């Protein structure tokens, strides 16, 4: 039961500094042995799977997804979100609490956990709200949330503007060793901005969301992390200044971290002006441009699949995010998978909700922009999907150590495929990467020793 022998893959396990051609033996849902000789210890009846030419790594973790349950099930459910996640190679996800009602009580936490178990595909963790109803006014019952099993607290989608409130939340959360994650957005600077403030917002006549609106709160969070000693994690970083601030703070030993999303290190604000404008300049440095150039993906100006929060930024910001990932300033990759219904997105740009789906394209885009572009080694990239988020959230995951849960992702780093949003397993279709030729594709997603997704079947 839930036993399997993976033979001949390139086993990359950053938690154990392993990168070698090896076998992985799974017995009863746990890692039983890893090494060239692991196969010898397999009982005779264990199913064998030849994965030579593929990468075998700890199951990927995405600590930033919106599964919209409870309350927004027209966009996504925990079941459909889970299906998209395992197709993307993920074995664990962390749900954001900006549901309806918000995940600000132990009852809602239990509901999310139950639905995750019912879906039965992967480990569905949840974060809890920092404030009641994510309203930024009163602290949520953080102790109860902790007891109920949240792995972090955040008001994601919103940002606590009151600095004293944020400070107290950090002090309080530290009692439980809960990290505080923050969507960094200064409302007074951002006001009603809908895209990055710069040349393209000027040209398109769209209200700007200045980079300083993120950097201001990143700076605040650094100061408060330093004051309180609480671990603070800045979500979906988009701006060069944020990377600079975090790099400098980490050097001082401040307990601060950050995550980056593929859209922010692949696309730029030029994409809001349409594909022609994007490919004319900024798009040329996207990995695979030459391969795609025969049939570059096309989209019109003001397409709402290029509207997310924080917004796509300049080419210089994109470069800074990539550099931050390479030098370790940004330790974690995440999707900010944010499904929305077609009818919600098929409106004027100003009126469309922020957000795009991302779970199914995340691994490929990360491989393309970081590994295939020869910026980063495969182990370094995999660490940002496995051991690093596991450490931040104190999860017993992200490793192939003997005895650990057999959560494993097998992927072909070189397989080329075209992402068709109509075959997405998410309930929503709001991806900007429809029609893109991607490189790298999960072939097996294994959770607790059970194959929950298998490519090409």
Partner 1 sequence: MGSMAKTGESLMAWNRKHLLDIESLTAEEITTVLDTALAFKAVGERAIKKVPALRGKTVVNLFVEPSTRTRTSFELAEQRLSADIINFTAEASSLKKGETLKDTARNLEAMNVDVIVIRHSASGAPHFLSRVLNAHVVNAGDGAHEHPTQALLDVFTIREKKGSIAGLNVTILGDILYSRVARSDIWALTKLGAKVTLCGPATLVPKTFEQMGCRVTHNMEEAIRDADVINLLRIQHERQRKTMFPSINEYSRLFGLDRQRLGQTKPDALIMHPGPINRGVEIDSDIADGERSVVLQQVTNGLAVRMAVLFLVNGGKDPQEISAN
- According to CB under 8 A, which one of 164, 192, 290, 348 is a site residue for partner 1? 348
- CB contact at 8 A, 286 and 280: no
What's the closest the beta carbon of residue 317 comes to partner 1, in angstroms?
Answer: 15
Cα(419)–Cα(438) distance, rounded to whole angstroms?
7
* Six-digit token string for 452: 């929950």
- According to CB under 8 A, which one of 205, 253, 403, 456 is a site residue for partner 1? 205
Q: Which stretch binds partner 1 (CB under 8 A): 199-207, 220-228, 239-247, 383-391?
A: 199-207
Half-sphere exposure of 422 (CA within 13 A, CB side): 1
What's the closest the beta carbon of residue 303 comes to partner 1, in angstroms?
Answer: 9
Residues ≥6 apart with Cβ < 8 Å to 289: 279, 283, 296
Cα(18)–Cα(57) distance, rounded to whole angstroms?
10
- CB contact at 8 A, 346 and 304: yes
What's the closest the beta carbon of residue 449 comes to partner 1, in angstroms?
Answer: 47
Q: Which stretch binds partner 1 (CB under 8 A): 48-56, 197-205, 255-263, 416-424?
A: 197-205
Angle CA 141–145–148, to nearest 5: 145
Q: Which stretch binds partner 1 (CB under 8 A): 38-46, 223-231, 339-347, 394-402?
A: 339-347
* Six-digit token string for 239: 């701006």
Q: Binding to partner 1 (CB under 8 A): which residues in 400-429?
A: none
- According to CB under 8 A, which one of 30, 132, 207, 372 is a site residue for partner 1? 207
If we measure between CA atoms, which residue out of 310, 352, 273 comes closest to residue 190? Answer: 310
What's the closest the beta carbon of residue 346 comes to partner 1, in angstroms?
Answer: 6
Q: Does 124 bind partner 1 (CB under 8 A)?
A: no
What's the closest the beta carbon of residue 205 comes to partner 1, in angstroms?
Answer: 3
The number of beta carbons lying within 10 Å of the beta carbon of residue 132 is 16
Cα(22)–Cα(7) distance, rounded to whole angstroms?
7
In the bound state with partner 1, the residue whose beta carbon lies nearer, of 114 and 346, is: 346
Q: Which stretch binds partner 1 (CB under 8 A): 56-64, 136-144, 203-211, 360-368?
A: 203-211
Q: Does 206 bind partner 1 (CB under 8 A)?
A: yes
Beta bridge partners of 268: none
What's the closest the beta carbon of residue 282 comes to partner 1, in angstroms?
Answer: 14
- According to CB under 8 A, which one of 21, 202, 227, 293 is a site residue for partner 1? 202
Cα(139)–Cα(263) distance, rounded to whole angstroms?
32
Q: Does 316 bind partner 1 (CB under 8 A)?
A: no
DSSP-based three-state secondary structure for 204: helix
Q: Does 187 bind partner 1 (CB under 8 A)?
A: no
What's the closest the beta carbon of residue 188 comes to partner 1, in angstroms?
Answer: 10
Beta bridge partners of 145: none
DSSP-based three-state secondary structure for 244: helix
In the bound state with partner 1, the residue whose beta carbon lies nearer, of 302 and 417, is: 302
If we measure between CA atoms, which residue out of 313, 263, 319, 251 comes closest to residue 64? Answer: 263
Would you mind telling me the total number of residues written for the chain in this entry?
Answer: 457
336 is catalytic: yes
DSSP-based three-state secondary structure for 119: helix
Q: Does 302 bind partner 1 (CB under 8 A)?
A: yes
Number of residues that bind partner 1 (CB under 8 A): 18
Q: Which stretch binds partner 1 (CB under 8 A): 174-182, 198-206, 252-260, 283-291?
A: 198-206
In the bound state with partner 1, the residue whose beta carbon lies nearer, of 373 and 429, is: 429
If we measure between CA atoms, which residue out of 177, 162, 310 comes closest to residue 240? Answer: 310
- CB contact at 8 A, 361 and 368: no
Cα(195)–Cα(310) distance, rounded to whole angstroms?
8
Q: Which of 336, 405, 407, 412 is catalytic?
A: 336
In the bound state with partner 1, the residue whose beta carbon lies nearer, of 202 and 293, is: 202
In the bound state with partner 1, the residue whose beta carbon lies nearer, of 155 and 197, is: 197
Q: Which stretch binds partner 1 (CB under 8 A): 19-27, 147-155, 262-270, 341-349?
A: 341-349
In the bound state with partner 1, the residue whose beta carbon lies nearer, of 67 and 306, is: 306
- According to CB under 8 A, which one of 138, 281, 346, 420 is a site residue for partner 1? 346
Cα(255)–Cα(222) distance, rounded to whole angstroms?
8
What's the closest the beta carbon of residue 353 comes to partner 1, in angstroms?
Answer: 13
Q: 134: cis peptide before it, omega within 30°?
A: no
Angle CA 216–191–224, to nearest 5: 25
* Six-digit token string for 313: 């930024």
In the bound state with partner 1, the residue whose beta carbon lies nearer, of 127 and 201, is: 201
* Six-digit token string for 34: 């890893």
Which residues would be at the binding site for partner 1 (CB under 8 A)? 198-199, 202-207, 300-302, 343, 346-351
**Residues with catalytic annotation?**
336
């Amino acid at each position: 039961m839930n036993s399997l022998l993976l033979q001949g893959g390139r086993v990359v396990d950053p938690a154990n500094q392993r990168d070698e051609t090896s076998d992985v033996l799974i017995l009863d849902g746990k890692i039983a042995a890893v090494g060239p000789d692991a196969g010898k210890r397999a009982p005779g009846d264990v199913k064998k799977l030849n994965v030579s030419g593929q990468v075998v790594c700890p199951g990927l973790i995405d600590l930033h997804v919106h599964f919209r349950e409870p309350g927004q099930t027209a966009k996504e459910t925990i079941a459909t979100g889970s299906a998209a996640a395992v197709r993307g190679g993920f074995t664990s996800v962390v749900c954001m609490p900006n549901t309806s009602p918000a995940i600000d009580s132990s009852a809602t936490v239990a509901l999310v956990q139950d639905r995750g178990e019912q879906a039965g595909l992967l480990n569905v963790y949840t974060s809890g709200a920092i404030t009641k109803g994510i309203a930024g006014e009163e602290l949520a019952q953080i102790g109860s949330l902790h007891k109920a099993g949240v792995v972090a607290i955040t008001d994601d989608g919103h940002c606590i503007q009151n600095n004293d409130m944020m400070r107290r939340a950090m002090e309080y959360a530290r009692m439980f060793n809960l990290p505080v994650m923050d969507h960094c957005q200064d409302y007074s600077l951002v006001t009603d901005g809908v895209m990055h403030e710069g040349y393209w917002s000027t040209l398109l006549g769209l209200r700007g969301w200045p980079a300083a609106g993120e950097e201001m709160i990143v700076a605040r969070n650094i100061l408060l992390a330093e004051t309180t000693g609480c671990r603070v994690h800045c979500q979906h970083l988009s701006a060069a200044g944020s990377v600079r601030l975090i790099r400098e703070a980490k050097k001082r030993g401040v307990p601060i971290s950050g995550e980056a999303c593929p859209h922010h290190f692949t696309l730029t604000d030029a994409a809001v002006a349409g594909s022609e404008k994007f490919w004319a300049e900024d798009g040329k440095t996207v990995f695979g441009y030459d391969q795609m150039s025969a049939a570059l993906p096309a989209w019109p100006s003001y397409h709402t699949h290029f509207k997310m929060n924080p917004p796509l930024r300049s080419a210089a910001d994109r470069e800074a995010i990539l550099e931050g990932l390479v030098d370790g300033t940004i330790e974690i990759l995440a999707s900010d998978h944010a499904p929305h219904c077609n009818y919600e997105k098929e409106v004027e740009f100003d009126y469309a909700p922020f957000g795009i789906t991302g779970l199914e394209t995340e691994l490929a885009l990360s491989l393309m922009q970081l590994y295939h572009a020869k910026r980063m080694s495969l182990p370094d990239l995999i660490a940002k999907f496995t051991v690093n988020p596991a450490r931040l959230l104190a999860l017993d995951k992200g490793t192939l150590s003997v005895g650990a849960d057999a959560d494993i992702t097998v992927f072909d780093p070189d397989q080329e495929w075209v992402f068709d949003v109509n075959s997405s397993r998410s309930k929503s279709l709001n991806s900007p990467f429809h029609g893109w030729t991607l490189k790298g594709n999960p072939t097996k997603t294994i959770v607790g020793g059970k194959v929950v997704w298998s490519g090409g079947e």
